[in-house]
Structures are given as structure tokens and as C-alpha cells.
Chain A
């Protein structure tokens, strides 16, 4: 058994506990603990990525209990990829936060680590109930991070999120109860076997459970009609929190891909391909609504929050195409949109800081102190997120369209993706010219903030160029990931080994 697998959960947990104790030791100590833990997390995630790159699945049996009885953590290519993505985003957000934003409220670093604990756990778990538990950890940390810094807008948004997600948790539990009542197991690999063999009597209960799970995951992924909570919340959140939240909608999408792909896949008997009629229309609708949101935004951070919803919609739409090539395209798109989305939230905060009273409102008011630097970053981010050549956003969109070519709904997919791309481009160029050009003749009021926040922002935004340059390697990996996801029996065999793990060498 490889103990590396449990480290992405243990590191943030121990660092968080240590940070609680170190709370009085001063900001410098807190910051170094947070940074060391997050850097270690990135290292572990990359190590895991290299371990599973060849196609092996790492399974960790908690307490060494054999599979359907104990708790399992599973790392395959998808989990390792998402862990690495989360770690990169977290490291950049933390670098940004230690330049001053962590002073806005108490216990920022503890909450940050707990948030990572929840996110990593959700990516690792091979058990439906543990997915619920890690979701709750992730959520309660996100409520507090959302409130970080205080103020009316943040409190109002947090109240909405908490109530919505509490209802979501109740629905999650109902779904778990229904699925457990029908199958008697909650281990995902075991569920995949049991659901495929379920009688038609139990199929109704299973389908209801599976669709209730979709409601829960869609709430997390902010799909329309369940995603209206996101824009006001992310627009109000402090910059490092908002940047980290860019991965949260992807946790919802990941859960759909993992649970529904594995348990309610094409070979799941009576409940086979449960989501196929839902994902494509929901994705299209989400994209349309989010595009209108982007166009109607009069503040940069709100515009970016609508872009987060848009990217979740694009992902779900692509998964709805229901082919291996589409899954691969969706993963490549997710890498680009998460990193660039997070980077743009950091950039919006830099712009807001340098404009003083004008904040990030998109009107002719206050010039920024460093128009060349921030303007260039904004240009790169906008090109990366809108999907223009030569950056990775373009390659990702092209890849998605290519995978949609032979689908029966191809005309809808092409129309919505291309039109929303055009409208996002219009909105972003309008925003850029309002922020950087039309305010050029006003005097600069604020002093420039330091180099560290700009460096953290650059780190995230440059990823779109790196993903383009390393496009061959990246798409080869996402293709291998999609192939591994389609091979359900390999996952089931890896988790449900008949011999007890003791006899396989164990500790």
C-alpha cells in the first residue's frame, strides 16, 4: 500500500491543526507553515501524477480493511490531475494572500488548509458517503473563507450559500439513503457492480438516487437553474478566496464525471446512461445564461464570476457529448479555464487596489498605477479565457468543437460555443478598454502594490501559454485519462481485489 495517497488529506489537516496552535506566534510563522504545507502538497500531487501516469491505479485501504467494508482512497489519472490543478491554484492564491489579504480577517490560513483538505478528499475518495463528508468539510471552510474580510455583500452572499448548500446536503443524504437501500453498499466500485446487476424493481430507486445526486453536484458546479448563487458570492469574496473557489465548481463537475461515469455508465443495466439526456441541454442553458451575465456585468469581478459559470456550463456540455474524445477535451478545457479564471480574479483585485475608490467598476474613472503590467496581464488572461489564438483557450475550444463534430446536436453545440465566445470577447474588450484606455488622462492616486501579488497573478495567467506550448503532452495525458475513465472494469478490479490487502504485502 502506497502511503503517498493519503498525504494530500493529511498534510492540510495537520498543517491546519498546527496553524490553530500557532495562531498567536505571529503572521510570519502562520504564513511559512501555510506556504510549506501547500508547497509540500504540490510536490505530493506531482509525485502521484508521475506514479499513475503509466496507467496504474493506487488504492489506499483505510485501516487496511478490504474494499467494500472499509474506506478507500483511489488515485487514478483523473484524481492526480485534479489534485495537481488544485495545488497549483492554491499555491498561487496563497502567495497572493500573504502579501496582505490574509490580514483582512482572523484564521485565514487555517481555513485555507481546511478548504484544501475538503477539495483533495473529494478528489481522492472512492466512497459515496466520504464524498459527502469531504463536501461538507470543503463547504464549511468555504463559508468562512467567503466571509473573510467581512462586509454587507459578503455576509449576504454567505447566507445564501449556506442555506442553499444545507438543502443540498439534505438532498445528498436522501440520494445516499436511496442508493444504499437499493444496493447495500456505498463503495463506488462495488456500487458499479451492484447497480449493473440490479433488478428492475430496484432500478426506480437507483435512478431517483442518481438523479438526486445530479441535483447536488449541479448545485456545487453552479449549473443553471441551480447556479444563481455563484456570481454575487464570488464577486464579493476576497481575491485569494475567489481564486481558490475557481476549482470549487470543478469539484462538482468532477463528482458528476466520477460517480455518474462509474456507477451510472453505459453498462449499468436498468440505470444505464442515466445522465445522457440531461447534461447537454443543461450545459447549453448554463452557457446561454452565463453569457448574458457576462455581457450585463458592470463590474470586473462580477464579470469573472459569470465566466466561472460559463466554464462550468461548457464543461458539462462537453461531458454531455458522451464520448472519450469529448471527455479528454473537457479535461484540457478545465485545466485552462480553472488556472486562468483564478488568475483573473487575482488580477481584478490588483486592478481594484490600484484604482482606489473606483474599485473594479467598468467605467471611466480612475487609472491604474501600472497600466503596462496590468494591461498586459489582462490581455493575456482575456485572450486565454475567451478562446482566441494563440493561447490554450483557443486550443481547448477547438478540441471541444472537434469532438462535437459527429454528434447529433452538433449544430446547437457549435452555435452556442462560438456565439458565446464572440460575446465574451466583446464584453472583455469593452471591460479592458474601460479599465485601461478610457481612464488614461486621470491622475494616478494609489501607489502600486508590491511585486509578489503580481508574480502570483502572472504564475496563473502564464499557465495558458504553458498549456499551449505543452499542448501535445497535456492532450496525450487527458486522452489517456479519458481512456482510463471509460475502462470501468479496471477501476473495479483495482479496488475490489479478492485477496485481503494484508496478503498483498500490506504495510
Chain B
């Protein structure tokens, strides 16, 4: 499972970096979302991976899962969601004001 998860995180991050380097607003948005997923799974895995364990706590279970990474991921998801929403609105405004969807242009008209 560890190998599967690391490959998944790696592929998602690589795709995200590729999309980010396109430097056009829509691919960049997709790239940031993908990067967010990869990071969240990574953060989740930092509490160790376990199969067939209780979600939080159960009497008589020797190995309990770590609840903190779950809380961290939840916070990160909420913040990431807000940031993505803000970026979408800003991108629409930029498209309206600047007339193009390039991210790497200068500030000259």
C-alpha cells in the first residue's frame, strides 16, 4: 500500500508541476488543485497507514489511528478550497481587466 500511495502522490505532484509551468490560468488552476490533493494525501500518510483499524478509537484495539493528521487534512482542505475559489474569481477578473489568460506577462499593457 505504501508503494501505491507514494507512486500516486508522485504522479499527481509531477502532473501538477507540469500544469503549473504552462503559465496559463486554467491549467495553473487545475495544477494547484492537483497539488492540493497530493499534499493532502501526503499529510494524511504522515500519521502512518493502517488497514482495518477503527476510524478514531475503539476499546480493545491495540493499534489506534492517529487523529491529528485527519484534523490537519480537514483544515488544509477547507483552506485550499477557499483559496481555489478566490483564485477562480480573481482569474475571471484578470481575464476581464487584462484581456488574456497568461500568467507570465509583464505589467506593461
A→B interface (CB under 8 Å): 129, 133, 136, 140, 143, 147, 150-153, 155-160, 162-163, 166-167, 169-170, 173-174, 176-178, 180-181, 184, 186, 232, 236
Give Cα distance in the complex from A478 to B8, angstroms. Answer: 49
Closest to B96 in A: A155
Given A129-B72, A143-B90, A170-B39, the answer on whether A157 and B82 have CB atoms closer than 8 Å is: no
Contact of A167 among B35, B40, B68, B93 (CB under 8 A): B35
23 interchain pairs, CB-CB under 8 A: A143-B86, A155-B90, A155-B93, A157-B107, A159-B25, A159-B90, A159-B91, A159-B94, A160-B103, A163-B20, A163-B28, A163-B87, A170-B38, A173-B39, A173-B76, A176-B72, A177-B39, A180-B43, A180-B46, A180-B47, A180-B72, A184-B66, A186-B68
Residues of B within 8 A of A (CB): 20, 25, 28, 32, 35-36, 38-40, 42-43, 45-48, 66, 68-69, 72, 75-76, 79-80, 82-84, 86-87, 90-91, 93-94, 97-98, 103, 105, 107, 109
Q: Given A156-B105, A232-B107, answer yes or no on A174-B32 (Cβ-Cβ < 8 Å).
A: no
Chain A at the B interface: mostly helix, strand, loop or mixed? helix
Beyond A163-B32, A174-B39, A232-B107, is A152–B97 a contact (Cβ under 8 Å)?
Answer: yes
Contacting residues, chain A, for B45 (C-beta < 8 A): 177, 181
Q: What B residues does A169 contact at CB under 8 A? A: 79-80, 83
Interface centre among A136, A170, A178, A181 (most CB of B within 10 A): A170
**Residues of A contacting B20 in the complex (Cβ-Cβ under 8 angstroms):** 163, 167
B97 x A181 contact (CB < 8 A): no
Give the complex CA separation of A244 and B1 in angstroms.
48
| Residue of A143, A147, A158, A173 ringed by the most chain B CB atoms within 10 A | A173
Docked Cα-Cα span, A163 to B109, in Å, equals 21
Cα A162 to Cα B90 in complex, Å, equals 9
When the two chains form their complex, are residues A152 and B109 in contact, meaning their CB atoms are under 8 A apart?
A: yes
B37 to chain A minimum Cβ distance, whole angstroms, is 10
Q: Once the chains bind, are B36 and A155 in contact (CB under 8 Å)?
A: no
A147 neighbours in B (Cβ, 8 Å) = 90
**How many Å from the CB of A377 to the closest CB on chain B?**
28
Q: Which residue of B lies closest to A184 (CB)?
A: B66
**B75 lies within 8 A of A129 (CB):** yes
Closest residue of A by beta carbon distance from B84? A166
Cα distance A176–B38 when bound, in Å? 14
